Amino acid sequence: MNIGWLVAQALLIVWPPYVANATPVLARRVFRGRLHPVDLNRVFIDGRRVLGDGKTYEGLAMGVVLGTLVGYLVDYVIYLMVGSVFKYPSILDSLVMSIAALLGDMLGAFIKRRLGLRRGEPAPLLDQLDFLLASLLALYIINPSLLTVPIIVTAVLITPPIHLATNTGAYLLGLKNEPW
């Protein structure tokens, strides 16, 4: 199997969760800082916030909507350009992966809080893979025909550098407080 084809196929499948995971940072600007934390400022039994201020209803909604629509539309446009050479997620696949990506990201935030890490502190691999693994699991449950072991492995290998590069870009644009 051609490595270029494999990377392209993996990117087409994970595009919706990539978009879903990247767009909540825009909520702060769109809603002018009037954000509502998903955890409602509650603390867990360890005395730490359940998730923290970085996980908001506005970001969740923005991520699900944009991940579903933008992710699916980009895949659909590519499908129109090159036909059925690649496998593509449907709009339902894109919706489920977008929701799962954000839930995976929240699970990552929950784990980071339990480890005593503050919002913005790095947790290598957890920060880069929580959303991806959750979205791949969800896709496997609803449409396993899109996934193969080589595609999953490729997605896991390419995501950390892509995630770090896009976060650095968001940091340089003033959208994030940290470059990771």
Tens digits of residue pLDDT in 131-142: 999 999 999 999
Residue type, position 178, single letter: E
pLDDT at 1: 64
Asked whether residue 119 is domain-assigned, the answer is yes
Residue 71 has pLDDT above 90, yes or no: no
**Greater model confidence, 140 or 32:** 140
As a whole number of angstroms, the distance between CA 180 and CA 177 comes to: 9
Side-chain half-sphere CA neighbours of 17 within 13 A: 32
Overall number of domains in the chain: 1
Asked whether residue 55 is domain-assigned, the answer is yes
Domain range for 16: 3-172
